[in-house]
Amino acid sequence: MFEGENPLQAVMTFLDAGGPVVYALLVLAVVLWTLILERLMYYRWQMPTDVKRCMADWQARPDHHSWHAHKIKQRRVSEAQRHWRARLSLIKALVALCPMMGLLGTVTGMIHVFHVMAVLGTGNARAMAAGISTATLPTMAGMVIAISGLYFVSRLEQRVQRARHHLHDQMVTH
Amino acid sequence: MRRACAMALLGIAAFTAVAPAFPQPPQDLDALLQKTRDARASDARGLDERVQRFRDERDIRATEMREAQQRRDAAVARSESLLAEFDENEVALTEGQTQLDARSGNLGEVFGVVRQVSGDFASQSQNSIITLEHPARQARLDQLATANALPSAEALEQLWLDLLQEIVETGKVSRFSAPVVDARGAVTDAEVVRVGPFTATAGARFLVRESAAEAFTALSAQPPRGLRQRAATLAAAPSGEVQRVDVDPSRGALLGVLVQTPGIAERIQSGGWVGAVIIALGLAGVLLALERFIVLARVGGRIRRQRKDIAAPTGDNPLGRVLQVYTRQPELEPETLELKLDDAVLREIPALEVRLVWLKILAAVAPLLGLLGTVTGMILTFQQITLFGTGDPKLMAGGISQALVTTVLGLIVAIPMVLLHAMLNARSKGLIQVLEEESAGLIAEQSERRPQGQARVGV
């Protein structure tokens, strides 16, 4: 089924066999991975400078223990975390969407199969096979995207939590 | 013996003929005797003559008889020879008849085969797209298939050529001009590319031949874009170039089924009232989300503006209202201030979170409604099965399509709802975080900048 002459051809064959839902999943996957990559790059390069700037600000303060100092520290950490957490919930939602999209593809594929049955009867298994591949390929694609995304979601969450604790601990209050 | 009898009879007759001369009495006996002798002598003479005549007669008859016997013998001999000839001819005739039967039997078989082959080929050609490129052959084939007389040698040869041409054309991609009927019924001549007997395309349009129609019909529902693109590439390709093409192995039947595939509107209709409810909920959810987006974007913009201008809090945004707690009473103790700030923040939160929970509920309810539709659809299907049995899958299709379409609709509504809820929730949570964790910090920074605040912070 997928033995195209080149990889692009194979991908196109896969997308055609899976129906429109696989195209939607492809878009979803591209968006999801762009967001994940953006976050990873952000944590790699932007996060240390954020921490450094916060620490410099904190060190520049003469007062490290009053109510004001506590509130200001809380604000700094919260602000930093808000930047770090930006789009994480979107990534989570996208990951949650993938299996649902897969299920959508399954049902549209089944509709296709039943339509074929309505037109040609149950005798023609080959005509039904196209619908069945429309039913199963999106499920598989959705699962693959969701599972691969899940790992990164938890990794990114962990990363933010650790960085927040780290920043909180570094900004010493006496 | 017969001759003796005849002579006796003749003697009697002569005597009786003489008898009437007796009535007169004789004049004298000698005369009478003489007369009798004379009479007897003349009688004897006459008798001799008669005998002689009879003998001659007999000889003539004998000769005649011999001749007749000879003729008879000749006739018998001739009859025998003719009989032999007749028998010979009879044998030859039988042989000839057998030969004729054998030969005409073969010919009859040939005739039957020709009729059968040309009938098969005619019915195949009637639906084949190759016929539209070579339209003349159909009439020939029909004539040959329905003819009652022996086909002529030319007709047989033509059938052979037609069959050969079919074989050759089946393996060819050819380009020709043919009439095409479009969806509105207008007939135009177009350049058609035919791939074997399988598919015909004009440009990027796929064509089919309705049964026995004289023109191609453009499909009202065209196959996916990838297929059409490849068809267009093939149409534009120079001859001799190798191209990847798509063929319909069922010779148009699959493409024909494509037209029967229901459109989106028909599919939605088959969802029934459950489908309608789901769609209504989805629209309500989208409107709700739109309203929240606008409100949150406006509030977010105002808060951002407020953050740039901490010193002058305004009452048109939540952050400003929280900051106002401090600016109205700057001399408050930190603990009291914190309590009052918390109080102000708590008052702002409901306005930011309001109606978001509805989106979440919609996202959860839509698939449930889809499930409801699935179950009602299945109930419908089972009712159909109870009434009509499982023989006809087409009767069950209505219920099944309701079941599946509602599931699809439920998912289609739930997916954006989940996404919208996630985005809006993140936005409102962000704003609340600003109020909860950062408003106090902003106030602290601001108060530090004030000289009188500086004095109080040292406490």
Q: What is the ipTM of this complex?
A: 0.79
Kindly determine whether residue A110 and residue B397, on different chains, have CB atoms separated by under 8 Å.
no
B411-424 average pLDDT score? 91
How many other CB atoms sit within 10 Å of the CB of residue A81?
A: 19
A45-60 average pLDDT score? 89
CA dist list (Å): A172 to A51, A62, A165, B328: 13, 12, 12, 32
Beta bridge partners of B194: B174, B200
pLDDT at B17 over 60: no
Radius of gyration of chain B (CA): 64
Work out the pLDDT band at B311, boundaries 50, 70, 90: confident
Interface check for B424 against chain A (CB to CB < 8 A): the answer is: no
CB under 8 A, 24+ apart: contacts of B38-45: B43/B14
**Which residues does chain B have within 8 Å of residue A83's beta carbon, measured at their own beta carbons?**
none
CA distance A85 to chain B (A): 10
How far from each other are the two terminal CA atoms of chain A, in whole angstroms? 68
Kindly determine whether residue A68 and residue B444, on different chains, have CB atoms separated by under 8 Å.
yes
The angle formed by the CA atoms of residues A70, A72 and A77, to the nearest 5 degrees, is 95
Coil, helix or strand for B253?
Answer: helix
CA A128 to chain centre: 33
pLDDT (0 to 100) of residue B361: 93
Tokens describing residue B222: 């065209």
pLDDT at B455 over 80: no
Interface check for B20 against chain A (CB to CB < 8 A): the answer is: no
Kindly determine whether residue B418 and residue A93, on different chains, have CB atoms separated by under 8 Å.
yes
Tell me if A10 sits within 8 A of A2, measured CB to CB: yes
How many other CB atoms sit within 10 Å of the CB of residue B195?
A: 19
Work out the pLDDT band at B459, boundaries 50, 70, 90: very low
CA dist list (Å): B255 to A108, B179, B206: 20, 19, 8
B243-297: pLDDT as tens digits: 888 888 888 777 877 777 777 787 788 888 889 999 999 999 999 999 999 999 9
pLDDT (0 to 100) of residue A5: 63
Tell me if B273 sits within 8 A of B409, measured CB to CB: no
Looking at per-residue pLDDT, the higher value among B43 and B299 belongs to B299
Q: What is the C-alpha to C-alpha distance for residues B406 and B402, in angstroms, rounded to an integer? A: 6
What is residue B150's DSSP assignment? P
B97-131: pLDDT as tens digits: 999 888 888 777 878 888 888 888 888 888 888 88
Q: Could you tell me which of B427, B359, B415 has the C-alpha nearest to residue A96?
A: B415
Kindly determine whether residue B442 and residue A75, on different chains, have CB atoms separated by under 8 Å.
yes
**Which residues does chain A have within 8 Å of residue B426's beta carbon, measured at their own beta carbons?**
89-90
Kindly determine whether residue A119 and residue B260, on different chains, have CB atoms separated by under 8 Å.
yes
Tell me if A169 sits within 8 A of A54, measured CB to CB: no
Tell me if B255 sits within 8 A of B217, measured CB to CB: no
Q: Which of B257, B310, B411 to mutate to test the interface with A (most CBs of A within 10 A)?
A: B411
Tell me if A90 sits within 8 A of A13, measured CB to CB: no
pLDDT at A157 over 60: yes
CA dist list (Å): B401 to A105, A171, B412: 15, 62, 16
Work out the pLDDT band at B26, boundaries 50, 70, 90: low
B87-96 average pLDDT score? 95
Numbered residues of chain A with Cβ closer than 8 Å to any chain B Cβ? 12, 16, 63, 66-69, 71-76, 78-79, 82, 89-90, 92-94, 96-97, 100-101, 103-104, 107-108, 110-111, 114-122, 127
B401-406 average pLDDT score? 85
Q: Which residue of A has its CA nearest to B433?
A: A78
pLDDT (0 to 100) of residue B446: 76
Highest mean pLDDT among A59-68, B175-184, B415-424, B449-458: B415-424
Tokens describing residue B206: 């796929």
pLDDT (0 to 100) of residue B15: 54
pLDDT (0 to 100) of residue A32: 94
Coil, helix or strand for B250?
Answer: coil
A39-67 average pLDDT score? 88
**Which residues does chain B have within 8 Å of residue A104's beta carbon, measured at their own beta carbons?**
408, 411-412, 415
User: What is Dmax (Cα atoms) for chain B?
Assistant: 235
pLDDT at B96 over 90: yes
Work out the pLDDT band at B209, boundaries 50, 70, 90: confident
What backbone torsions phi and psi does residue B200 show, to the nearest 5 degrees?
Answer: -130, 135
Q: What is the C-alpha to C-alpha distance for residues B416 and B424, in angstroms, rounded to an integer? A: 12
Interface check for B249 against chain A (CB to CB < 8 A): the answer is: no
Q: Which amino acid is at A109?
A: G
With pLDDT > 70 as the criterion, what percentage of chain B qualifies? 92
Q: What is the C-alpha to C-alpha distance for residues A45 and A86, in angstroms, rounded to an integer? A: 16
Q: Which of A3, A6, A83, A115 to mutate to test the interface with B (most CBs of B within 10 A)?
A: A115
Work out the pLDDT band at A1, boundaries 50, 70, 90: very low
Of B334, B422, B443, the CB nearest to A89: B422
Coil, helix or strand for B212?
Answer: coil
Least confident of A2-16, B150-164, B225-239: A2-16
Q: Which amino acid is at B59?
A: D
Dihedral of CA A76/A81/A84/A86: which sign? negative
Kindly determine whether residue B422 and residue A76, on different chains, have CB atoms separated by under 8 Å.
no
B393-403: pLDDT as tens digits: 677 777 887 88
Kindly determine whether residue B408 and residue A122, on different chains, have CB atoms separated by under 8 Å.
no
Of B408, B422, B434, the CB nearest to A92: B422
Work out the pLDDT band at A142, boundaries 50, 70, 90: very high
Mean pLDDT for chain B?
A: 84
pLDDT at B68 over 90: yes
Interface check for B458 against chain A (CB to CB < 8 A): the answer is: yes
Q: Which residue of A has its CA nearest to B421?
A: A93
Q: Could you tell me which of B210, B212, B178 has the C-alpha nearest to residue B194?
A: B178
DSSP string, B161-211: HHHHHHHHHHT-EEEEEEEEE-TTS-EEEEEEEEETTTEEEETTEEEE--T
Kindly determine whether residue B262 and residue A115, on different chains, have CB atoms separated by under 8 Å.
yes
pLDDT at B454 over 50: no
Of A69, A94, A118, the CB nearest to B397: A118
Residue partners of B292: CB distance under 8 A and separation at least 6: B355, B356, B359, B424, B428
CA distance A42 to chain B (A): 19
A78-131: pLDDT as tens digits: 888 888 988 898 899 999 899 999 988 888 888 878 777 777 777 777 777 877
Beta bridge partners of B190: B178
CA dist list (Å): A166 to B241, B296, B407: 66, 32, 47
Q: Which of B342, B359, B374, B419 to mutate to test the interface with A (most CBs of A within 10 A)?
A: B419
Tell me if A101 sits within 8 A of A149, measured CB to CB: no
Q: What is the C-alpha to C-alpha distance for residues B396 and B393, in angstroms, rounded to an integer? A: 5
Beta bridge partners of B174: B194
Q: What is the C-alpha to C-alpha distance for residues B209 and B126, in angstroms, rounded to an integer? A: 10
Of B224, B426, B445, the CB nearest to A90: B426
Coil, helix or strand for B201?
Answer: strand
